[in-house]
Copies of this chain bind each other. A is one copy, B any other.
Amino acid sequence: MFAPATVANVACGYDVMGFAMRDIGDTMTIKKIPSKKWVIENGRGCEGLPIDPKKNVIGVAVQALVEAYGEEIDFGFKFHTSKNIKPGSGLGSSASSSSAAVFGVNKLLGSPFSKKELVAFAMEGERAASGIAHADNVAPSLLGGFTLIRSYDPLDVIELKYPDMLYASVVHPQIEVKTSDSKKILKKQIALKDAITQWGNVGGLVSGLAAQDYELIGRSLQDVVAEPARSMLIPLFKEAKEAAMKEGALGGSISGSGPSIFALSFSRKIAEGIAIAFNNVYASNGILANVYISQVNSDGTELIS
């Protein structure tokens, strides 16, 4: 399987929006094994991740699936993961693992669940990884495209319309920001006027995506809730964002809880210019950073061989 990397929040859509990337993600191989055990093998990029299925997001997510499945399964699974998305990058690394695992196990069980139904299981992996069963990474990783979690209780995942020609440039500065720290920095109460600004932008972004109105998409990529606090944890955030805007980005913000930063644009050429600018900002300040460019992914998690 290939499970794409994802950008959660997408500026204004804190905890509810996310999109998937076509060219960046993790790959996982799942094999049936005769014993009823679950064996987790850490492949490339998985150094340091737990291999105990009770502690690894793969095991937790698959456990949620098999519990919902209900029937006895008289074989086990061997999971082998190659990670291109670094844990702690803010690009949905744990979500990719959870998504690939539930997608693959579902296939091996004869597809009793739809892709959308798998979201709830993959969310349990997120709970194991960060303490909160958020869906804004697992939904786009499984389903592709832009997704909206309209409601968590009951879970209501909406696949949004969006323009075909939409590119993400991402920079991952090599510093660590823990999701839990990044959550703690946010206040539990916000000003009503800021909330109004935020939901005006969510409405604008959803409308702009549906209408392929790139200018509206750009104007709506504003975050007055999380970005002002979280950006303080990311060195050179302001400089990186400004550099992206100068290259013609529609807009950008922190990816998930950071430290990665994303910017959207409507052509690969602009996306490349942004990636180069991102890289320059960090390189010229002596901070190691990885940059990525990808069109928005329309397929989500998929079988690749």
> Which residues of chain B have C-beta atoms less than 8 A from A161's C-beta?
207, 210-211
> Which residues of chain B have C-beta atoms less than 8 A from A16's C-beta?
196, 199-200, 203
Q: Taking A204-B148, A206-B207 as contacts, is the C-beta distance between A196 and B156 under 8 angstroms?
A: no
Within 8 A of B (CB), among A203-248: 203-207, 210-211, 216, 219-220, 222, 225
A7-34 contact mask (Cβ, 8 Å, vs B): 1 or 0? 0000011111100000000000000000
Q: How distant is the Cα of A197 from the Cα of B15 in the complex, in angstroms?
A: 9
Q: How distant is the Cα of A168 from the Cα of B219 in the complex, in angstroms?
A: 31
Q: Taking A17-B203, A203-B13, A206-B206 as contacts, is the C-beta distance between A225 and B149 under 8 angstroms?
A: no
**Is there an interface contact between A150 and B14, defined as CB atoms closer than 8 Å?**
no
A148-192 contact mask (Cβ, 8 Å, vs B): 1 or 0? 111110001010110000000000000000000000001111111
A279 CB within 8 Å of chain B: no
Q: How distant is the Cα of A13 from the Cα of B201 in the complex, in angstroms?
A: 11
**Is there an interface contact between B150 and A201, defined as CB atoms closer than 8 Å?**
yes
Q: Taking A161-B210, A219-B156 as contacts, is the C-beta distance between A199 and B13 under 8 angstroms?
A: yes
A61 CB within 8 Å of chain B: no
**Is there an interface contact between B199 and A198, defined as CB atoms closer than 8 Å?**
yes
A195 CB within 8 Å of chain B: yes
A25: min CB distance to chain B, Å: 25
Using CB atoms, name the residue of chain B closest to A194. B195
Q: How distant is the Cα of A201 from the Cα of B156 in the complex, in angstroms?
A: 10
**Is there an interface contact between B192 and A191, defined as CB atoms closer than 8 Å?**
no
Q: How distant is the Cα of A191 from the Cα of B192 in the complex, in angstroms?
A: 9
Number of interface residues of A (CB under 8 A): 43
**Is there an interface contact between B225 and A156, defined as CB atoms closer than 8 Å?**
no
> Which residues of chain B have C-beta atoms less than 8 A from A119's C-beta?
none
Q: How distant is the Cα of A17 from the Cα of B204 in the complex, in angstroms?
A: 11
A304: min CB distance to chain B, Å: 30
A183: min CB distance to chain B, Å: 10
**Is there an interface contact between B199 and A158, defined as CB atoms closer than 8 Å?**
no
Within 8 A of B (CB), among A1-57: 12-17
Residue in B158, B195, B203, B220 whose beta carbon sits within 8 Å of that of A190 in the complex: B195
**Is there an interface contact between A203 and B204, defined as CB atoms closer than 8 Å?**
no
**Is there an interface contact between A200 and B151, defined as CB atoms closer than 8 Å?**
yes
A143 CB within 8 Å of chain B: no
**Is there an interface contact between B150 and A203, defined as CB atoms closer than 8 Å?**
yes
**Is there an interface contact between A189 and B191, defined as CB atoms closer than 8 Å?**
yes
A230: min CB distance to chain B, Å: 13
A135: min CB distance to chain B, Å: 11
Give me the interface of A with B, judged by CB distance under 8 Å.
Answer: 12-17, 148-152, 156, 158, 160-161, 186-193, 195-207, 210-211, 216, 219-220, 222, 225
